[in-house]
Amino acid sequence: MSRAWSYPSAIGLFALQAATMACVITPSLAYMAEAVSQAGVGSFGVAYGLYNVAWGVGLLGGPALGGFLFERMGFAWLALLWSPVLVVVTVLLAKADPHVRQKPDTTTERS
């Protein structure tokens, strides 16, 4: 968004950003539900509550911290310092176990 050259370009870039966020956030909620189920935790409410708290803290502190750092460092340095964090998170996510571990079926068929 900081590189928009006109109002129509800002609208297009924002639409692209919103679509990208929707493609990331929606599957993460399903993955979180799957992880909670695999862990045997009985309450999905606790997991979704923690997710919402983290989301709220990010919405509250992220723009303030980003604006503060942007004013002090400028966009180029801020992007250069943020990119290694994104690379590390990407590598950690790539190493995560992609296979769903199914619980063994305890039901037995009676003939």
Residues 6-31 pLDDT 10s? 888 888 888 988 898 888 888 887 88
CA geometry: angle at 56 spanning 30 and 7, to 5°? 95
- Residues 25-64: pLDDT tens digits? 888 878 887 877 777 766 778 888 888 898 899 989 989 9
Between 80 and 9, the more confident residue is: 80
CA 14 to CA 24: how far, in whole Å?
15
Tokens 């980003």 identify what position?
66
Question: Rounded to the nearest 5°, which phi and psi values hold at 24?
Answer: -90, -45
Q: What confidence score (pLDDT) does residue 108 get? A: 56
Cα-based torsion angle of the residue sequence 98, 87, 1, 23 in order, rounded to the nearest 10 degrees: 0
